[in-house]
Structure formats: structure tokens, C-alpha cells
Chains A and B, each alone.
Chain A
Amino acid sequence: GQQLNQSPQSMFIQEGEDVSMNCTSSSIFNTWLWYKQDPGEGPVLLIALYKAGELTSNGRLTAQFGITRKDSFLNISASIPSDVGIYFCAGRGYGGSQGNLIFGKGTKLSVKP
């Protein structure tokens, strides 16, 4: 079945640093979604991508839908402490189950001690 690999699993950030994470799939997706989850809350949608090559920004966040339709990345520029949390990618493919939506296992952002 469809699989989605998200990396890195975790990373530490220092305020002001840029952050990058990505997801790759084993099959073609027609939609990519990026979510952020804070402790005790449900995931909140950050960016939605619908076309191969599409580059979309939301404030300091930028995400792209890969040309191959099998990958997407999320960049956070000039990180701030409130950026910590878990970031999930999700992709919607053609056919299959789960409402056609597959989630990555998440990238946990923490502040450098």
C-alpha cells in the first residue's frame, strides 16, 4: 500500500534558524497537506498544495509540491520559540482506503537546550 516517509523525525532549533523537513511517498499524490500539532491539541492545517511544482507560503512557512508528485517539503524561516511542536505531512493519492489520505509520522521540533 501507499507509504509516506517524513524526515527528520526530530530536530532541535535555535531561535532565528531556518528549518527544513520533507516527506516522500511511494506513489503519486494529488494533494499535500502540512499540519502542526501543539501539546494537548489536534493538528492544525498550515498549508495545502494541489498542483505539482506549486510553492505556497504562509507567513514564515513555505511548502512545495514536488514535480514528481511524490514529495513535498516545508521550510520555516527565522524560527521562533512558538514554532516548537510536531509537524505532520499528509498526502492524498488516487484510490485506496483511509479516505485516500496518508499521514507521515511527524517531525518533532524542540528548542536547543
Chain B
Amino acid sequence: GAGVSQSPSNKVTEKGKDVELRCDPISGHTALYWYRQSLGQGLEFLIYFQGNSAPDKSGLPSDRFSAERTGGSVSTLTIQRTQQEDSAVYLCASSLFGQGGEKLFFGSGTQLSVL
């Protein structure tokens, strides 16, 4: 696609439920990032995928959070047993590793609200 696509754009869930957030990166981009942005705050790194390398999961806040990237393209961020403090905007970004690879292109995010 022309840009990074995220779905859903908004998700309201009840505490304790599991949610899945999807990211469709720009075609051909080998690197994919997930960030979390709480209201009025900066970007909190969650996880980074680069090609076939093992993902950098160092930013995942707890074992309730996991992510996978199938076929080197689409990625899914899963939050199990959601808590109210998980409410935030979840942003996905992709980049073309190598020349110009430092430029991250972001999606519009998924606004997650845990009631």
C-alpha cells in the first residue's frame, strides 16, 4: 500500500479481554516497529522486527504483550488480559533498512480504550 495501515483505528474493550492490533507496513519495508503513546506523552518503544532476525522485544512492558510478523510483512500486536493502564494509542512504523532506512513511516495508530 501507499502507507502504513493499522486496524482497527479504535478499539474499546473490557478489562481482562484479549485484543489484537494489526499493522500492514509499506510494501518492501523490511523493518517494523511498534510504539505506545499514552495521552500527551512521547513514544514508548515496544518491539522491533528486522527481516528474518530475532525481534528486539526489549520494550514489551509485560508478558501479556506479544507480537509476531508473518511472512516478513503484516504484524499483529496481541495484548492478553487487558488492564486499564494499557489504554493508549498503539503506533506501528516501517522502514526500508539500508539506504534511507533510518526513516520511519508511521501509521495513524490504534486508539485502545480498556474499560
Contact = CB atoms under 8 A, between A and B. Distances in A.
A98 B56 contact: yes
Interface in B59-115: 59, 91, 93, 100, 102-109
Main SS of chain B's interface residues? loop
A106 B108 contact: no
A97 B48 CA distance: 9
Contact of B42 (A98, A101, A103): A103
Interface in B37-59: 41-43, 45, 48, 50, 56, 58-59
Interface size class of B (residues with CB under 8 A): 20 to 34
Contact of B59 (A43, A92, A97, A106): A97
B102 A92 contact: yes
Interface stretch (A12-20, A44-52, A58-66): A44-52
Interface of B: 4, 31, 33, 35, 41-43, 45, 48, 50, 56, 58-59, 91, 93, 100, 102-109
A42 B108 contact: yes
Interface residues of A, number: 22
B86 to A, nearest CB: 19
A45 B105 contact: yes
B4 A42 contact: yes
B6 to A, nearest CB: 8
Nearest to A4: B42
Contacts of B108: 40-42
Contacts of A27: none
Nearest to A31: B102
B50 A99 contact: yes
A42 B109 contact: yes
A42 B93 contact: yes
Nearest to A108: B40
Contacts of A50: 102
